[in-house]
Structure 1
Amino acid sequence: MRRKLVAAAVFAIAAGLLYPVAGSPAIARAAQVVRVDDLSPTRSAIFVDSPAMGRTVQVQVLHPGGGGDRPTYYLLDGLDPGATQSTWTNATDAEPFFQGKNVNVVLPMGGQASYYTDWAADDARFGRYQWETFLTQELPPIIDGYFAGNGVNAIGGLSMGGIAAYVLAVRHPQLYRAVAGYSACPDLNIAAGAMMFSIANRGGNPFNMWGGPGSAAWNEHNPAVLTEALRGKTLFLSTGTGIPGPHELEIKPQLPENIFFGGPIEMGVDGCVTAFEQRLRSMNIPARVEHSAVGTHSWSYWQDTLHESWPTIGGAIGA
């Protein structure tokens, strides 16, 4: 595969100069690929020199082994993403699940407590977080160039990543046809306190992200304020109730607090998803919202909902 990618590099670098995304700041130069490691015939690690982030970012891609172009699903991790392997491939069956499907699945590495957004200020703990620019401006032309992407995209994620998926979708509606949130709270009016706490709990300064809740910057990222931008997209949300279900005794990598607090966390998510669903309905914006009678904030349930969502998300992008 690597020899096939050499020619694509020229396209990707050039495309980076021709892939404007409304709402993203201009970058001085295009992101460039440092190297590509083929981890298997259908999984590659791509290392991208990101001008926005000021460092090299690893992204892993699940992709078909054959030729032909295909859509892309950007699948974001949770609060504590893997540094060398996405928790989606470490804690779920995402890799075998997507084998044989005509889609690129893009899994960014790193970004702990980042909410995959552009932070207003560099952080003493996390450094420079400019994930929105990276994910919406720098990375798409590289993925399309290296992995035969056809420019049709969806975005999804769990918990922090699901919030980010909806935030990126309302800020860049032209970029995504479908959006999925697994145990995610897209209403930042409700989620703000938990978001601020989660950043501080990981050692960051939450005010370095968008300032204080209620500021103009928070409203400029809030899907509950920018809901109209979701009209015409295929939307998926899922939540449990926090009541223990069939997966509680399984040993899975997950957020440390979820072992003890996964039930209460999911109960809060359920209330937020219900409120956001009502917001969508009040605006006559259709969405598929799955409320499970049981389920905590943990990976086995996200594997279940990934499977459950795929006919909706994959159908919307022609995968």
Structure 2
Amino acid sequence: MAVMAAAGLVSLSSTPFDPVARAQPDVMTPAGPGTGPVAPDGSAIAGTRRVDERHLELTVHSAAMNLDFPVDVQLPADRSAPRPVLYMLSGGSGGKGAASWDRRTNAFDFLSDKDVNVVQPIGGAASYYADWRQPDPRLGIMKWSTYLTEELPPLIDAALGTNGVNGLVGVSMSGTSVLQLPITKPGLYRSVAAFSGCARIADPVGEMYVRITVGFGGGDAGNMYGPSGDPMWAANDPYLHAEALRGLDLYLSSGNGMPGPHDKAGDRHFAGAGDSLANQILVGGILEAAVDQCTHAMADRLADLGIPATVELHPYGTHSWGYWDDELPASWPVLAHGLGL
């Protein structure tokens, strides 16, 4: 429950933290007395900005990384009782710029009539939202698993008065992460949806996919899990540890790399300037064909273990936001069941 979730947090004020009441439109509250919950490890909600009646922008300090990160929040349609939280992770860009749920999809509109707190952490580009074995010269200290499982949820629960029930959605890079995080922190999440992710990272093809993704973001995956064959790759492979996903409401999906309805100029998900439709079709097709193999393998693994999962393997679709936007409503019954909605 919300009161239990807040245990261990130190309030900076005798007045309960109300992010809606404290945040002023277009004004970022500086860190200091009364700003928000603070954990014993030093992680804290350092600032808030109210965008409108339903939307907040939080600044959350990670003690593990000693950095502040934005977190976008959409409050539930009905706030008369404590509600669950749906965490939505972005792909390789970490949600910065145009490649995010709020910029490239209708996710927040779709969820606007749902009784759920929607939380979109920003940051973690090329990180796989993992705890890296050592700092990366380009990306710095990466302790994203600690941030997402240990630091952020208690702060969100305390600040928003949630009921302590969580769901998790990820695409592309984070389609791997959303299967890793529930294994790292059993019991934290009740439902998980992974769109176009690759769970089998200790496999040579999966490892190559991870290294390409991290390299594209300027990092070196060797600083994450070490050289090929290092035990850390297997230790963080959701395919190998799929048994730990038993009991979750699971949804997995992928396209097969062939062009589909969203691979055309003028599609509402296509950003246009700075993007290339040819790149989406060619590179996005190759990427999606690869993750399609990963999704097939993970689906087979879950079936072999007798772990129920809803799996959608589409006969078209590239590695792009239009298809992930379609998958959110498709996955909602599975997510909602785990969230108790």
Fold agreement, TM-score > 0.5: yes
Alignment pair present for 1:61 and 2:110:
no
- Determine helix, strand or coil for the equivalent of 1:47: strand
Aligned pairs for 1:1-319 (under 5 A) are 2=19, 4=21, 12-13=37-38, 16-17=39-40, 29-64=41-76, 66-83=79-96, 87-188=100-201, 189=203, 190-249=205-264, 250=267, 252-253=270-271, 257-319=279-341
The answer to which of 80-89 and 135-144 deviates more is 80-89
Provide the TM-score with structure 1 as the length reference: 0.89
Contact 2:89 2:95 in 1 (8 A): no
Shift of 1:10: 8.7
Counterpart Cα distance in 2 of 1:161 and 1:121? 20
The answer to which of 76-85 and 115-124 deviates more is 76-85
Deviations 1:80-116 (CA, angstroms, capped at 9, x unpaired):
2333677100000011111121111111112110101
* 1:199–1:88 Cα change, 3 Å: same
Identity of aligned residues (%): 37
Shift of 1:294: 1.2
* 1:216–1:2 Cα change, 3 Å: same
Contact 1:84 1:109 in 2 (8 A): no
Shift of 1:214: 2.6
- Determine helix, strand or coil for the equivalent of 1:59: strand
Query: Relative contact order: is structure 1 or structure 2 higher (C-alpha 8 Å, sep ≥ 6)?
Result: 1
Contact 2:84 2:164 in 1 (8 A): yes
Counterpart Cα distance in 2 of 1:203 and 1:50? 22
Contact 1:78 1:157 in 2 (8 A): yes
Counterpart Cα distance in 2 of 1:11 and 1:200? 37
Counterpart Cα distance in 2 of 1:253 and 1:316? 33
Counterpart Cα distance in 2 of 1:299 and 1:132? 24
Counterpart Cα distance in 1 of 2:336 and 2:98? 23
* 1:166–1:3 Cα change, 3 Å: closer
Which amino acid is 1:173 matched to? P
Runs of 5+ unmatched residues, structure 2:
1-17, 24-33
Deviations 1:242-282 (CA, angstroms, capped at 9, x unpaired):
11111111252498753531112111111111111111111
* 1:100–1:268 Cα change, 3 Å: same
Corresponding residue for residue 29 of structure 2: none
Corresponding residue for residue 23 of structure 1: none
Aligned CA-pair RMSD: 2.1
Deviations 1:186-232 (CA, angstroms, capped at 9, x unpaired):
11124211111221222212211111233211111111111111111
Larger radius of gyration: 2
Corresponding residue for residue 8 of structure 2: none
- Determine helix, strand or coil for the equivalent of 2:141: coil
- Determine helix, strand or coil for the equivalent of 1:235: strand
Which amino acid is 1:315 matched to? H
Counterpart Cα distance in 1 of 2:256 and 2:243? 28
Contact 1:34 1:47 in 2 (8 A): yes
How many correspondences in the alignment?
304
Runs of 5+ unmatched residues, structure 1:
18-28
The answer to which of 163-172 and 184-193 deviates more is 184-193
Counterpart Cα distance in 2 of 1:69 and 1:5? 19
Contact 2:91 2:99 in 1 (8 A): no
Counterpart Cα distance in 2 of 1:305 and 1:280? 20
Shift of 1:37: 0.7
